[in-house]
Amino acid sequence: MKELFLKKMKRDNSGFTLLELMIVTGIFMLVLIPVLGVFSSSYESYVVQDDISGTQENVRAGMLFMKRDVRMAGSGIKDLITLDGRLYGVEFENGVGDTGSDRLTIVYHNPDSSPCDDGNVPSGTWVCSDLPTVTLKDKMPETATAADVNEELKGSGWDEDCYCGGTLYTKPKFGYRVIITSPKGDMSNLLIVTGVLPLPDKLLNGPFDGFENKVLNTYPNKSTIRFFNEEQVLAVTYYLGGDNNDTLMRNSRSYNDDVGNPQPLAENIEDLQFALYGDFDGDNTVDLETPCDTNGDCINDESLTSLDGDTSDDGLIDSVRVVRISILGRTGTPHRELSPTARPGIEDHTAGSVDYYRRRLLQAEVKVRNLGL
């Protein structure tokens, strides 16, 4: 009986042999390896596409801001001569970045950027920006230190103290700036009001702090005179900065502020290039088709700026009609699973060495209409 029981137990002890397990494992691996390969390939593709997508977003964000500011170039400052000299709407500095990138400064008047009323206006005091616009009479000699105006100054605010952004201008020698603009808008000057005679309606513009200032009577009848807040003339500069010179920076400041407040716009920007188009060859046309290196109407390989001390080419700045912007973005990390590429040559900046970064180039041609008005 015992022997029969043991035989029965042996017959019921069923299972897999080692050979069977090895066969099953082999089949499983044959199925799993392709699945893992597909997953790995998909994940790598996702990482690359996500990196490239971020690069494209950075480039587009930078271009959005730049196009908006470039369109404003020269607005409200046509032929404007300040106490420090002439203002120009565009200042182009070629190849000044550490990596060979360009720098562009846009200058324009923004009447809403910095109001005089900062909440600290003394009681009963005029806000300077609220002073009414007056117009010039052309009766006085050009060298006179007083100018007649058509409007009645008594009780208008011009004959009272006024406040602007932390500064109180008191009579009788006010010392605040005004801008005079010709009736056609083709010229304008900044000067300093050194006094007001409400009877008989005269503004004084005598010498002030070493500045000759006697400009009012050189303008024609009906030229407009209004208070001018220097903080409202903006100079916006675009350049590459940051620790690795790969961040698109935007520095918006008043034109007489040398520092400003630089702000990062986009990361992983490898190159920033500009080309300026205008009637530089004097043939009354602007050629946008011919390549820049053989085009007399295109400048992309030298600076065009009034900031370099060379005044011989400053007149060309007023001829600028189109600015071509080129922003080259690069992925944050190299991708060695892809074929190597090189940084492309843009404008006068030659191509770089081969690497494994992915790049996206965005270009736009922006018309600067205010410079042609």
Which among 308, 270, 280, 348 has a CA at the least distance from the CA of 59? 270
Which residue is listed with tokens 């736009």? 364
**Those residues with Cβ within 8 angstroms of residue 288's Cβ, 6 or more apart along the chain or in another chain:** 277, 297, 322, 365
Is residue 144 left, alpha or beta, with left meaning phi > 0 and alpha meaning psi from -120 to 50? beta
Spatial distance between the Cα atoms of 222 and 94, rounded to a whole number of angstroms: 42
**100-140 confidence digits (pLDDT tens):** 999 999 999 887 666 788 888 998 899 898 889 999 987 77
Read off the DSSP letter of residue 39: H
CB 180 within 8 A of CB 225: yes
CB 194 within 8 A of CB 214: no
Which among 82, 196, 91, 184 has a CA at the least distance from the CA of 134? 196
Q: Where are the domains of the chain?
A: 51-80+91-110+234-372, 126-228
Please identify every stretch of the chain with a pLDDT value under 50, giving residue numbers as ranges. Answer: none
Does residue 128 sit in helix, strand or coil? helix
Does residue 78 sit in helix, strand or coil? coil
Radius of gyration of the chain from Cα atoms?
34
CB 116 within 8 A of CB 129: yes
| Phi, psi for 40 (deg, rounded to 5) | -60, -45
116-125, Cβ contacts within 8 angstroms, sequence gap of 24 or more: 116/163, 116/164, 116/165, 116/229, 118/165, 118/166, 120/163, 120/166, 121/163, 122/163, 122/168, 125/160, 125/161, 125/162, 125/163, 125/168
| Phi, psi for 291 (deg, rounded to 5) | -50, 145
Spatial distance between the Cα atoms of 238 and 106, rounded to a whole number of angstroms: 9
Does residue 262 sit in helix, strand or coil? strand
Summarize the chain as % helix, strand, coil (round to 5): 25, 30, 45
CB 194 within 8 A of CB 188: no
Q: Specify the pLDDT at position 45.
A: 66
CB 182 within 8 A of CB 225: no
End-to-end CA distance of the chain: 119
CB 41 within 8 A of CB 340: no
Read off the DSSP letter of residue 228: -
Task: List, in sequence order, every residue forming a beta bridge with 271; answer none if it has no partner.
Answer: 328
Spatial distance between the Cα atoms of 150 and 119, rounded to a whole number of angstroms: 32
Spatial distance between the Cα atoms of 292 and 289, rounded to a whole number of angstroms: 9
**216-263 confidence digits (pLDDT tens):** 888 888 999 888 887 888 999 999 998 888 999 999 988 878 888 899
Task: List, in sequence order, every residue forming a beta bridge with 370; answer none if it has no partner.
Answer: none
Q: Is the dihedral of CA 109, 170, 194, 131 positive or negative?
A: positive
